[in-house]
Structure 1
Amino acid sequence: MNNRAPAGVVAGVDGSVPAAAAAEWAAQEAERRGCALHLVHAVNTGTVTLSPRTGAAVTDLILREAQAVLDEALGKLAAAHPELRLTGDVVPRDAAESVLTAAEHAELAVVGTRGHGGFASLLLGSVSLRVAAHSRCPVVVVRGAPDTGNHILVAIRDERDGETLRFALREATDRRLPVEALHTWSPVVADAAHMAPMIDEVGEEARLHAQLLRNTVEPVAEEFPDVRVDARPLTGATAATLVEASRRAALLVVSRHEPSPHFGLRLGTAVHAVLHHAHCPVAVVPA
């Protein structure tokens, strides 16, 4: 049983509706990229409390049922995408670990919002969060109404987000869509009584943020002359602005920066927010 996928797109499946939507999105993405799609179905065979004979029988039953789930997913995708190269594995391990291992050499990993193991009330399952937080390759969490938007939305914080923008531009090229590069910032204003003396300072701050956005976007956009890029600096809370803007997007692309050595959080608060509340699929790109 090989749980290390070839280069291409990897998707986690478990028979749930969100996982099926993610697998279909991954199939379309693999077709656009001209690469293979590898499905991973992870199952917990935890039978250590049973007798050896009973435990072996239960493990065999779990694995056979898991194989049936995987075969059904592969069959549906093969019927819908007859030219797509499809492979798949049942992996008796933790779900997030299985997807991460399979995607070590992949171009992209794709997961749904939650699977059978999560509570229906949760907006995003722990498996999806763990994969998004630790994957070496970009991860797409499929949520909302996939591919109904008319552009690719990418969040730009600073010059470190060049590779994230490059990912968004590649997606836009494959889909023949424009890109909106959004940079949000919040002016530092103590109180209304002191607004007048600060007008010049706020104006200078706005100019610097606009310059930062241009310096980040223009060099990368030159690599994709056929893609229209609209760079917009906006004031306001990053998470709320991105979530609202995602209503009109086919895909929202955000960066995952290295965690602070003091806090160790692998996903920032804005990324957490969009993963839970965005209205379209979200791509998390390691920066």
Structure 2
Amino acid sequence: MNGKSPAGVVVGVDGSAPAAQAAEWAAREAERRGCSLHLVHAVNTGTVTLSPRAGAAVTDLVLKNAQAVLDEQLDLLIGAHPSLRITGDVVPRDAAPAVLNAAEHAELAVLGTRGHGGFASLLLGSVSLRVTAHAACPTVVVREVQPERLADHLLVAIRDERDTVALRFALREAELLGLPVRALHTWHAAVADLGRMAPMVDELGEETALHEQLLRRTVEAVQPEYPDTELTADQLTGAAPAVLVEESRNAALLVIARHAPAPHFGLRLGGAVHAVLHHAHCPVAVVPLPAP
């Protein structure tokens, strides 16, 4: 019950439907990667009672019930994926630090949109936000998608040339899934925001060319490593959050980099990451960039 896991895929479970969907997605991913799957069920055993005996009894009951939830999920996954090595732990601590600890040396952490602890009206739970904001490994947040939805490619957001890390992740996933990758760079037309009555065509053309060069350099830095995976690159003007959410409609996975927070601000996730985590039409992979 120490929460540590071997390198592989780690998934947080709690008996909720979103967590069960995430666990099934994680099992298929572990099979594709040829690695193990580790389940983490975290429970806060803190109790408010004046009786040490009653407190100990409540703690034992909480842990026993948690183990039953974990065992049920393990049985389901082992039955559906008999060749996959699957382990699990009940961890007596808050969920986010439990998953972060378990995923310290993992290839991938996987979570549902929200579990039993959050409000039903929320699109994304605090645990998923905290893990994606702080995990050392890529994190995938799995959301329920419509079965009739066509998913025919992986979408990766390119903000700048540091996003080669996210592009490599997307290309590896596409290789495993047998799907093409679309790299998408979004930007604002700066000259259109100056309050001028007419756009400056020369300046806008120069700006477009600079963004084309950025996207081309980013793609060319990685594409030779994956010669058998189809990769296309597009740029669109507009607000990145809205564009990425809309363009995710037919994607099997949306991959986006987690850039370092701006100085003097505590936010660990940028606006685009927040938006796609809450509103994307497909699972979202958040890939941390290495520290500068």
What is the correspondence of 1:143-182 to structure 2 with a 5 Å cutoff? 143-145=143-145, 149-182=151-184
Q: Distance in 2 between matches of 1:177 and 1:85?
A: 26
Shift of 1:48: 4.6
Show structure 1 runs of 4+ deviating over 3 A.
Answer: none
What is the correspondence of 1:25-174 to structure 2 with a 5 Å cutoff? 25-145=25-145, 149-174=151-176
Asked if 2 retains the 8 angstrom alpha-carbon contact of 1:250 and 1:281, the reply is: yes
Map of 1:201 onto structure 2: 203
Q: Distance in 1 between matches of 2:58 and 2:105?
A: 33
Shift of 1:264: 2.5
The secondary structure found in structure 2 opposite 1:4 is coil
Shift of 1:144: 3.6
The secondary structure found in structure 2 opposite 1:234 is strand
Asked if 2 retains the 8 angstrom alpha-carbon contact of 1:254 and 1:284, the reply is: yes
Asked if 1 retains the 8 angstrom alpha-carbon contact of 2:18 and 2:144, the reply is: no
Q: Distance in 2 between matches of 1:218 and 1:50?
A: 65
Asked if 2 retains the 8 angstrom alpha-carbon contact of 1:182 and 1:232, the reply is: yes
Q: Distance in 1 between matches of 2:267 and 2:58?
A: 38
Q: Which amino acid aligns with 1:194?
A: A
Provide structure 1 residue ranges, at least 5 long, that are not aligned to the other structure. none
Shift of 1:225: 0.1
Asked if 1 retains the 8 angstrom alpha-carbon contact of 2:38 and 2:88, the reply is: yes
Alignment TM-score, normalising by the size of structure 2: 0.96
Q: Distance in 1 between matches of 2:150 and 2:258?
A: 25
Q: Distance in 2 between matches of 1:74 and 1:2?
A: 18
- Root mean square deviation of aligned Cα: 1.1
Identity across matched positions, percent: 72
Map of 1:241 onto structure 2: 243
Q: Which amino acid aligns with 1:4?
A: K
Q: Which amino acid aligns with 1:73?
A: Q
Shift of 1:153: 0.3
The secondary structure found in structure 2 opposite 1:14 is coil
The secondary structure found in structure 2 opposite 1:222 is helix
Q: Distance in 1 between matches of 2:165 and 2:89?
A: 31
Shift of 1:50: 3.7
Provide structure 2 residue ranges, at least 5 long, that are not aligned to the other structure. none
Q: Which amino acid aligns with 1:135?
A: A
Q: Distance in 2 between matches of 1:45 and 1:144?
A: 30
The secondary structure found in structure 2 opposite 1:213 is helix
Alignment TM-score, normalising by the size of structure 1: 0.97
